[in-house]
Amino acid sequence: YMSIDSECQLFRILPSNLSAKIERSVYNRRKRKLFCFRESLRKELVFTLNQFEHCYIVDSMPLEVCKLSRSSRSKICKEQNYSLPEKGYCASQSSHYYGYKLHAVCSAQGVIESMDISPASVHDINYLKDIKHQLKDCLLLGDRGYLSAEYQ
C-alpha cells in the first residue's frame, strides 16, 4: 500500500521496533508463497477495471541484464537453457543490448492487462501470437514493431 518497489527501501524505512519482528529471509519466503494469491487478486482487479474496455495499447521495452561488452562473461540467468538472455536491438533508442524484452498490454485508462518477458532477439510481432487468445473483439494499438500483413 506504500508503493515501495524496493525491498531494501522497505526495510530501511520500517521503524526499528518493527524491523526486528521479521527477518528478511522469512519475509521473502512468505512473499513467494503468496504469489499465486496476489496474482489471482491482480487478475480479479484487472477484470473488474477493464470489464467494459475495448481499446488496448501494446508496447515493449528492453530489459538490459548487463552491458553488451560484458555479455560473454555474464552468468546472470544462465541456469536453464530456456531462460538465456540474448542480444537484441532497440530501434527507439538506436542501441543494441543484452537481456530480455518486456511486453505489456494496458487499457486506454492505464490498467495493465498482461505482461510477458521474452528473449531480446524475439520480434514484437511474435508477442501478438501469444496474446491473441486473451484479447478478442477489441482494438489493439501498437507501434510499427507489431505490424505485419497478417495482423493488419
What's the predicted TM-score (pTM) here? Answer: 0.72
> What pLDDT is attached to residue 20?
63
Directed axis angle between helix 35-49 and helix 24-33, to 10°?
Answer: 50
**Average pLDDT for consecutive 10-residue bins of the chain (152 residues)?**
76 71 82 92 90 89 86 76 83 88 90 88 83 81 79 62
Residue 46: count of CB within 10 angstroms of its CB: 17
Interatomic CA distance for residues 111 and 49, integer angstroms: 7
pLDDT at res. 103? 92
**pLDDT for the residue numbered 71:** 79
Distance, in Å, from the CA atom of 140 to the CA atom of 40, rounded to the nearest integer, reads 24
Phi, psi of 136 (to 5 degrees): -130, 150
pLDDT of residue 18: 66
